[in-house]
Structure 1
Amino acid sequence: MPRNAKAQDIADYLLGGYNESTKIPYTFFDPDARGPIKADIGGLNAEGKQLAKWAMNAWESVADVEFKLVNRGASLTFVDHRSGAHAETEADGDGTITKATINVSSGWVEKYGSGVDSYTFRTYMHEIGHVLGLGHTGPYNANADYKDAIFKNDSWQLSVMSYLGQDENPNINASRASNVMPMEADLLAIRELWGAPKDHYADGDTIWGIGSELDNYLGDMFRGMANDKKSDAYDLQPITLYIEDASGHDRIDFSHTGLHQTVDLRPGRISSVLSFKNNMLIAEDTLIEDFVSGDGIDKIIGNDAGNAIWGGGRDDMLKGLNGNDELWGDAGKDRLFGGGGQDVLNGGEHDDLLKGQRGGDELWGEAGKDRLFGGGGQDVLNGGPHDDLLKGQGGRDVLVGDTGSDTLIGGGGHDALYGGDQSDVLRGDAGNDLLDGGEAGDTIEGGSGDDQLFGGAGLDRLEGGEGDDRLDGGEAFDELFGGAGADVFVLGLGYGTDTVGDFVVGEDLIELDAALMADLTAEAAVDLARETPEGDLMLNFGDGNRLLLSDLAGTELTAESFVIV
């Protein structure tokens, strides 16, 4: 009965269990010899020579092993004139294996391809794995299927030494995709025999994918896939990746594809890239900072590092998780979630949803009708063009509607709201807020707390709500309602006719600009008050500057009601 196995269990089997169960020895060379393994590829055609060199480089990249190409005196010989694929050995009198021959039929290139992503390349890696001392992942040889497995998760997903493609194991939820590198179990096993490489090929700042500068066979493949067309190193075939990185600031870039990708950058997680399912694994000790996607419908999750994630075209979902992240939705209707840390979220084109969540975040809606939610922390939200919804939620937030008819809601904390162009709705909610409508006719509500309300240009309606508020309608004809509390209503030069809907004598104040008229005093302002037929009081300062106090006919104003500034 097959059992679930950890990668280490499979590695142990590659090293010893296979030999015990099959009685086939697979330690062809002595790892303690430490000299380069001399290899002769003269018996291969041009494609085979390149595949053999790539495959040797694959093992050199992950273990302390070295191959040296020679024309004579080789201990490892490659040929392609026989059918099938296999490794053979020669031994001296005491049974010590001194030579090995690997045959991969030349017909495999025609049948399976000649790129790093081909099954032919995988076969070269597999046979070299035997030469270096690894068995199979089950007690099988030649032909095998799942009934021969002893591990439930035996497949290419964990080892290049497996005979079972992902689609041949009913327990593996993944596309059939050929290995382009030794996998997790292989690395554990080969390093137990040969040790880790002295210098990791992915040390420093590494780009996996488009723009890669890797100086090995993987770099050849990544550079070949840049145009999403067939090349010498890339046959456009499904691939399985095991991302093991050493240090530096690293990036995975599959921006060339318009296919859907589901990516989880957390260590030990598995992802679906290049339109294939569960075909990229990230090592437990590897931290990848950045991911760049293409024009598919993507779902990308970051990790605890400061991630930079680009969604590309179409409708993407990006999650930063912990760390100070940058999330770029680009084109499409995107959903961006910052998580913990101080994040920057940029929706890009179209109608996006941005949530900063925990931490002090920056949210930029850009083009489209966007919805921005700051979350906890001191956030900055900018809606950009079009009609946006901005909610600061908790914390001391800054909300900028920019262009478009926007709705801004401060939430908890002492917030600053700026409507920008066109007619906006601003609501401070809790806290001592600053609300500035900007251009056009705005509706501004302070909510609870001692708020400052500025209408700016346009026909505005200002409502202070609870608390001691200051209401400044700005230019044009505005309506001002203080609400509960001791409020201050402002009339400046060039403001036009403003209406105060709920002035309370003895509680509220009227702040007047001294430039409204010559020798303006509080007493002079009282003398200007005139009743209207509608039952209001009108104060006319001349040049179109007037203040209408609703429903105050018959009320005695006092000098204490005015402040001249």
Structure 2
Amino acid sequence: MIWSLIKCNHNMGCGVYMRRKIQGDYFLKDQGYDNAVEWNTVDLGANSSVDAFEFDFLTSNSQVFARGGPVQTNIPGDVTTTATIGVNEQLIETIETGGDQDWFSITLVAGQTYDISSIGVGSNALPDPLLRIMDAAGEELATHDDILYGVVRSSLLTFTATTSGTYYISAQGWSDETGQYQLSVTENNDSTTDIAADTSTTAVAIVNGSVSGTIATGTDVDWFAVTLVAGQRYIISQDATGNDAEDAENPVGLDDAFLTLLDSTGAVIQTNDDSGPGNNARMSFVPTTTGTYYIAAGSAVSADGDYAVTIREVPTLAERTIDEVAHFLTDEFDTREAYGANEITYNITGLSEGAQALAIRALTAWADVSALTFTAVTTGGMIVFSNTEDGAFNGNTTTNGVIQSSTLNVETTWNGGNLNVDSYTYQTFLHEIGHALGLGHGGPYNAEATYDIDNIYLNDSWAYTVMSYFDQNESGYFGDFRFVLAPQISDIVAIQDLYGANTTTRSGDTVYGFNSTEAATVGDVFGSVYNFDNFTRAPSLSIYDTGGIDTLDFSGYSQKQKIDLRPESFSDVNGFTGVISIARGVIIENAIGGSGIDTIIGNDASNVLTGNGGNDILDGGEGIDYAVFSGASINEYTITENSDGSFTVAHNNNGADGTDTLTNIEFVRIGGVDTALGAEPFTTLSEGNDRHTGNDDDNRLDGLGGNDVIYAAGGNDVVRGGDGADRLFGDDGLDELSGDAGADYLYGGRGNDTLRGGAGGDFLYGGLGDDAMYGGAGGDVFIIFENAGTDTIFDFENGIDIIRILNGAISYSDLTVTQEGNAVHIVSSYGTIILDNFDLANVDASDFDFVGTEGRPVMVASFGDVFVGAGNEISIDIQSHIWSDLAVELGGLDTPNLFEYTLEEASLDASWFDYM
């Protein structure tokens, strides 16, 4: 079927004028790059014309084609074809089966030279078009495959007709390739007169096609006019051509192409010298206005020779998500592959001592974020390192997608022989080991690539993956060049997809940055990359951490900083944009700024934020958060509540802390004393073991230190346990309970509650309603009861935390466990549990504890102080979670003192208290 491409505005209705000689149905097709199609039909009489077909485009990247009858289902590959193409025409067709040829008849004039081009287009583009031209008898006269052998696979056949009459053009794919192509025929611009070098040029370039030219003298420049559409992205290239163009690095033809793009007045928009393969030129361009542009082809070294100019429509680039980048690394660059086991041996005897240290450090970095373990051997090995060949590369031997072995070479003079950890050499080891483990590049490139041409998404950058070819400055993500010192945010997702996650890395209280708790490991000659005292400027890495109360300490920097504690966020540190990221699912509780004007953004945990010097902006986010100041007394500060609910805290007499703005911060900590902010201040208890009952108002209660028991009662309450082993009960309302440090028991009661365990091994029981639960550091138990609604666990730690399902005659086999985006959904007759930012592959029966009807939750301050109990003597309906029900069960008391009432008659023992 023959499709003629119609040019028109892509973002609105399209007016089309066409004339055909044959009566019948004619069609308009709106085809997006995803091959979605919308049809419009009109019946035309012979020699009639029609204009203004009006319809909306499917996508902003759609193309519009017109087709006329009679329709051929397949174009013959010989002289019987009735398919035609005219000079200065283009059409779109498809090679449906391997070995298929589409022949088109064309009338050519003796002595005239023509450019015939074929280029793959659309999402099903023909990878390697091949062109042939035949005489009227079907005898081959000329053929052409690649403009630049093996690199620029479009075909451009420049042909001079020796006689006037009928010829045939054969469009096909190399070997058995199939796909869609655009065929174009134009009169050669340079065959009779030299092409003008200004806006008077009559030479024309074509979109989704190629034209040829010759630079006759070194100073010659050829200008081509072309119409480009606003919002459409184009790749424009100039490549040397010649009979021996099979050598991509040294083709016969124009040496060192130099390409210039100009607007309709001849003003330069952009230039390019060597962004193409070899020393050819290539650029990307998205016009802001539709109209005429000029492409000037020349040589950067005043050479002469033949060339081709190709313009290709390509989809507009967009950002990819962290998961989409990771998926490209594992499944899109090449066929998915990985080792069949997580225990991998390696051999570094082929490296120098300094390079061995870098290889070990890089292997350790990958092991930190994955379930892989690496063991050194001196003979053999699954990954064998060497330095005997030029360059840096890796090669894997695979069987059915399972890696059997890998060889990895980094030459001794790589990066000038630099063997420091803060170097491109170390980053190269990280990159090549990524290949050895099954990761591909960040985009469809190899050996060399140019940003905005070879990348297929905007954030193809070292900031997202060490497997990218593009540094942060080149890609604009985030604009500051910095070597990568650990797997980045998408690398971590990708390697965990292949091998699972490391659940023990830095599980204690860790300080990253200055005053770091991280020391060099045994045999590590470099020191920790997480100790910023080891660097003159902040490194680029993603923080991966599995537990504890952790801190980002960037106090050693004076530049303006943005410190973001939210998982999957990027921070600007030490004057470098986006160099530090937080890996998925990682909870960092605290942050310390420097002496500049810092912006610190908290996460959903209870954060302690220290701005230090400068007029800082602190936003605690969700949770009960603290802002820390250096003064000895609150009297040194002026605290003002602003109309938007934020607070301004000014250090009097030009004090060191400056004037900070606090949003979503509940407490200021000055001189070690916490003072509540807000129109409804916290009711603070003592540092001892408090017992407190709230009322039906919206209570804000702070237990401070000690082992506290706090019952908030009705209302939308905010309760903070503080230090110690606390018992917090929300009851009715939308409650927010934070255990803070210590092994705490949190019970939400009715309503959609938020429970945060904090440090320590906590028990979190949402009760009725759709609850949000954060265990924090330590091994936490999340308790689920029947008819409890949909509960979401935001930081479930695989192999550390437990989900306890109470009073249920069910087992693991009764659960339906599915992956829904970034979350795992666990559905049963009891309701739904959502594990946010979790992988289905990490869920198994060991994550659950099923407690039968003989074990109901017991909430206690100490043994004997029972709020809800069960046993042979006392039967209480705890599903209702109504405290007055308990009073009835205990003898009809109207207002029992729940913290002193003792069930002397209950035959309970300490084993009951493990459930809650």
TM-score interval (norm. to shorter): 0.5 to 0.7
Which of residues 340, 355, 359 is equivalent to 1:32?
340
Residue 148 of structure 1 corresponds to which residue in structure 2?
A: 454
**Is 1:196 aligned with 2:501?**
yes
Query: How much does 1:265 deviate?
Result: 1.6
2:394 touches 2:432 (CA, 8 Å); kept in 1? yes
Distance 1:315 1:186, change over 3 A: same
Distance 1:225 1:114, change over 3 A: same
Matches within 5 A, 1:339-354: 347=651, 349-350=655-656, 352-353=658-659
Cα distance in 1 between the residues matched to 2:505 and 2:392: 29
- The one-letter code matched in structure 2 to 1:120 is T
Which of residues 312, 327, 335 is equivalent to 1:12?
327
Residue 88 of structure 1 corresponds to which residue in structure 2?
A: 395
Which of residues 219, 242, 258 is equivalent to 2:542?
242
Cα distance in 2 between the residues matched to 1:187 and 1:176: 21
| 3-state SS in 2 of match to 1:304 | coil
1:323 touches 1:342 (CA, 8 Å); kept in 2? no
Residue 679 of structure 2 corresponds to which residue in structure 1?
A: 376
Judging by fraction of residues, say which structure has more helix: 1
Query: How much does 1:161 deviate?
Result: 0.9
| 3-state SS in 2 of match to 1:54 | helix
Query: How much does 1:61 deviate?
Result: 0.9
1:203 touches 1:246 (CA, 8 Å); kept in 2? yes
Residue 295 of structure 1 corresponds to which residue in structure 2?
A: 595
Query: How much does 1:227 deviate?
Result: 7.7
Distance 1:252 1:351, change over 3 A: closer
Residue 628 of structure 2 corresponds to which residue in structure 1?
A: 328
Cα distance in 2 between the residues matched to 1:361 and 1:257: 26
- The one-letter code matched in structure 1 to 2:377 is V
> For residues 398-447 of structure 1, what are the alpha-carbon distances to aligned partners after superposition, in whole Å with 9 as ceiling and x for unaligned?
xxxxxxxxxxxxxxxxxxxxxxxxxxxxxxxxxxxxxxxxxxxxxxxxxx
Query: How much does 1:185 deviate?
Result: 1.9
Matches within 5 A, 1:200-219: 200-214=504-518
> For residues 264-321 of structure 1, what are the alpha-carbon distances to aligned partners after superposition, in whole Å with 9 as ceiling and x for unaligned?
2223322101221111122342221111233333222223322222223344333334
**Is 1:272 aligned with 2:551?**
no
Higher RCO (CA 8 Å, separation ≥ 6 residues): 1
| 3-state SS in 1 of match to 2:573 | coil
- The one-letter code matched in structure 1 to 2:443 is G
Distance 1:226 1:184, change over 3 A: closer
**Is 1:3 aligned with 2:309?**
no
Cα distance in 2 between the residues matched to 1:379 and 1:209: 33
| 3-state SS in 1 of match to 2:405 | strand
- The one-letter code matched in structure 2 to 1:316 is D
1:55 touches 1:125 (CA, 8 Å); kept in 2? yes
2:630 touches 2:670 (CA, 8 Å); kept in 1? no
Distance 1:283 1:220, change over 3 A: farther
Distance 1:221 1:208, change over 3 A: farther
> For residues 148-172 of structure 1, what are the alpha-carbon distances to aligned partners after superposition, in whole Å with 9 as ceiling and x for unaligned?
01122111111111111111224x2
Cα distance in 2 between the residues matched to 1:241 and 1:89: 26
Distance 1:192 1:322, change over 3 A: closer
| 3-state SS in 2 of match to 1:41 | strand
Residue 353 of structure 2 corresponds to which residue in structure 1?
A: 46
Cα distance in 1 between the residues matched to 2:436 and 2:548: 33
- The one-letter code matched in structure 2 to 1:165 is D
Residue 420 of structure 2 corresponds to which residue in structure 1?
A: 114
Residue 182 of structure 1 corresponds to which residue in structure 2?
A: 487
Residue 162 of structure 1 corresponds to which residue in structure 2?
A: 468
**Is 1:131 aligned with 2:436?**
yes
Cα distance in 2 between the residues matched to 1:266 and 1:74: 40
**Is 1:305 aligned with 2:605?**
yes
Distance 1:312 1:98, change over 3 A: same
Aligned-residue Cα RMSD (Å) equals: 4.1
* 5+ long unaligned stretches in structure 1: 21-25, 229-233, 367-371, 381-394, 396-565
2:520 touches 2:527 (CA, 8 Å); kept in 1? no
Query: How much does 1:136 deviate?
Result: 0.7
* 5+ long unaligned stretches in structure 2: 1-314, 684-697, 699-916
2:513 touches 2:532 (CA, 8 Å); kept in 1? no
Query: How much does 1:354 deviate?
Result: 5.6
1:259 touches 1:297 (CA, 8 Å); kept in 2? yes
Which of residues 376, 385, 390 is equivalent to 1:78?
385
Cα distance in 2 between the residues matched to 1:225 and 1:61: 13
Cα distance in 2 between the residues matched to 1:373 and 1:121: 48
| 3-state SS in 1 of match to 2:486 | coil
**Is 1:103 aligned with 2:439?**
no
Query: How much does 1:72 deviate?
Result: 1.0
Cα distance in 2 between the residues matched to 1:294 and 1:61: 28
Judging by fraction of residues, say which structure has more strand: 2
Cα distance in 2 between the residues matched to 1:54 and 1:363: 40
- The one-letter code matched in structure 2 to 1:378 is P
Query: How much does 1:53 deviate?
Result: 0.3
Deviates more, 1:158-167 or 1:7-16: 7-16
Which of residues 354, 373, 393 is equivalent to 1:66?
373
